Amino acid sequence: MGRITVFSSDGCTYCRQVRAALAARDIPYTDINISHFPNKRADMLALTDRYTVPQVFFNEKHIGGADETIQLLSEWDEELKGGSKTPKDRYVETIESEAGPYDTRLATPTGPPAIQYMNLTVNRPKEITEVNGKHFTTLQLMKELIKKMPRGDLSTFGFGVVYYNSFVGSEAVTALMEIFGIESRDEAIQLGMKLQRKHFIEHATKGDHTFGDNRHYFRLHPFNTPSVLNSLRAWTQNSNDEPINVIFLLSRLWGKLEALHITAEGLVDHSTLRNDDFYWKFEDDVCELQKVSMKDMDVNTKTAFLINLYNLMVKYAFVKLGIPSTDLLRLSFYENVCVNIGGTDFSLNDLEHGILRANSRAPYKMLKQFALGDSARKKLALEKIDPRIHFALNCGAKGCPAVKRYTVEALDEELRLAAMAFCEQETSVSVDEKNNTLGLSKIFNWYMTDFAGSKNELPSKIVQYLRGEKKEKLERMIQTGKVNVKFLEYDWSTNDCNYLMFSKSSLKSFPSNMYRIEG
């Protein structure tokens, strides 16, 4: 019996789109995940001469990647429009009814997957807080407070300073009595002080005022630093797991979230994702990064950790704070959106330009990422730049490299494959031998100094990441000395829908749809 085979990998947006397109038409398929079975990558390469995923086969016929497959399915839709047959019927007649596939390289993998997720699982005791005879986990209690505590934008008379998402102590005392069935204000004050000690409640203004039946301003912890992504709560336990495993667990949870909220078009629906219980679990779990230290990481560990972290935090930030729509907003987004690692806040630019790029200047900036006096964070910077990180980092746009899972043990090979996969795409590197033109992704322009000393040196540096006919063409062009380098338009669009729009105000106060709990 014939079948459709999809070679895919974890975290691949375009793989999700293909799977969603097939599922929307009720067409079955066999998925071969090369993240779980890396030995199948060689089979895929031998069959397709491509490093990128997805690669789709209708029996033994290679259809191509996501674009080609979705285009073919759309043609089926058009051809069958108005008739009684469906795309599923077309599949049964033309694919399932045939014998095969017989090529052993298309066989489904046997044996256990290379990724054993259960080995990464760490049993962490849940911290329980008792309130008026009831017991709450930290997440349960924080959600209850977010849902029911008053909050508004308060200002101090005469100073013009606005304290977003705040409340005054006396209002909070009344609210705590109503929420938890407390009869006296004194008991509610004691509860508020307990919540302040446990960092559920923070003082909003300068100074260190104790919670009470007063006019001081307070906030719930997650509203105190809205620009810091992992700030739902203060993580009080030690992180005993390996840092890379913490990221793998978080990435796996986020992948599950995205898979549950994929539209028929293969887009991630942010509006439904934000209301999923798994999203709240992620909000809680990601706070563990507050206890993860980078101080003693070797180069490979730090590189793999930060690539995986960066790619995950961009997705998380898009959902939580919104997607920037202009160049100026993108500059603000990557410079100001932060993640707390080991008790220190790092912006997305800090992770990329400060640490991974050995404390270099970000594009369009005059100064290095970490200032002279920032000695603590400068010590974390890598000593030299591996330009291949640019084939691994994903800023959330379609023009970025695909998101993959990077490990400490196989990092060099994984970066080599990422480079080959990115550069084999025509939207990243195009070679026009007839017109002596080398078209390059804007990434090579923004980070030119990481790859070469000048624009003229780029062709000889990039050829190492090519293979086959494309490499042969560029080598001939280099030999003749006639290579005209041009930079291609960058695609800033995303694979998301129903998302929030990022603005600079998002860094001061969460967008109105964030942290809205129904029920």
Residue pair 438/477 in contact by the 8 Å Cβ criterion: yes
pLDDT, residue 112, reads: 84
pLDDT, residue 511, reads: 65
pLDDT digits over 6-20, tens only? 999 988 889 989 999
Q: How far apart are CA 68 and CA 110, in angstroms?
A: 29
pLDDT digits over 264-290, tens only? 888 999 999 999 999 999 999 999 999
Q: How far apart are CA 37 and CA 52, in angstroms?
A: 15
- Residue 118 pLDDT more than 50? no
Residue pair 308/286 in contact by the 8 Å Cβ criterion: no
Domains and CATH numbers, the chain: 4-118 (3.40.30.10), 130-224 (1.10.10.10), 243-414 (no CATH), 428-487 (no CATH)
Beta strands in 125-178 (DSSP E): 128-131, 134-137, 152-155, 162-168
pLDDT, residue 111, reads: 84
Residue pair 257/265 in contact by the 8 Å Cβ criterion: no
The sign of the torsion formed by the CA atoms of 324, 328, 331, 337 equals negative
Please report which confidence band the pLDDT of residue 135 belongs to, taking 50, 70 and 90 as the band edges: very high
pLDDT, residue 115, reads: 60
Per-residue DSSP letter, 409: T
pLDDT, residue 12, reads: 87
SS3 123: coil
Query: What mean pLDDT do residues 140-150 have?
Result: 96
Query: What mean pLDDT do residues 435-456 have?
Result: 97
pLDDT, residue 10, reads: 85
pLDDT, residue 121, reads: 44
Please report which confidence band the pLDDT of residue 189 belongs to, taking 50, 70 and 90 as the band edges: very high
pLDDT, residue 82, reads: 86
Min mean pLDDT across 198-207, 290-299, 434-443 is at 198-207
pLDDT, residue 114, reads: 74
- Residue 67 pLDDT more than 70? yes
- Residue 384 pLDDT more than 90? yes
Phi, psi of 128 (to 5 degrees): -110, 135
Residue in 312, 350, 319 with CA at minimum distance from that of residue 334:
350
CB burial string 166-189: b at 16+ within 10 A, e below: bbbbebbbebbbebbebeeeeebb
Query: What mean pLDDT do residues 227-249 have?
Result: 94
Residue pair 517/151 in contact by the 8 Å Cβ criterion: no
Q: How far apart are CA 448 and CA 501, in angstroms?
A: 31
Place of tokens 């080609």: 68
Residue in 421, 363, 400, 430 with CA at minimum distance from that of residue 491:
400
- Residue 119 pLDDT more than 50? no
pLDDT, residue 156, reads: 79
3-state secondary structure 172-216: HHHHHHHHHCCCCHHHHHHHHHHHHHCCCEEECCCCCCCCCCCCC
- Residue 122 pLDDT more than 80? no
Query: What mean pLDDT do residues 138-163 have?
Result: 90
Q: How far apart are CA 323 and CA 502, in angstroms?
A: 5
Over pLDDT 70: what percentage of the chain? 96
- Residue 512 pLDDT more than 60? no
Q: Which amino acid is at 331?
A: L
Query: What mean pLDDT do residues 104-124 have?
Result: 70
Collect all residues with Cβ–Cβ distance below 8 Å to 472 and sequence separation of at least 6. none
Query: What mean pLDDT do residues 146-159 have?
Result: 87
pLDDT, residue 79, reads: 93
pLDDT, residue 516, reads: 64
Residue pair 209/163 in contact by the 8 Å Cβ criterion: no
Average pLDDT, the chain: 93
- Residue 159 pLDDT more than 60? yes
Give the DSSP per-residue string, 411-449.
HHHHHHHHHHHHHTSTTTEEEETTTTEEEE-HHHHHTHH
pLDDT, residue 120, reads: 39
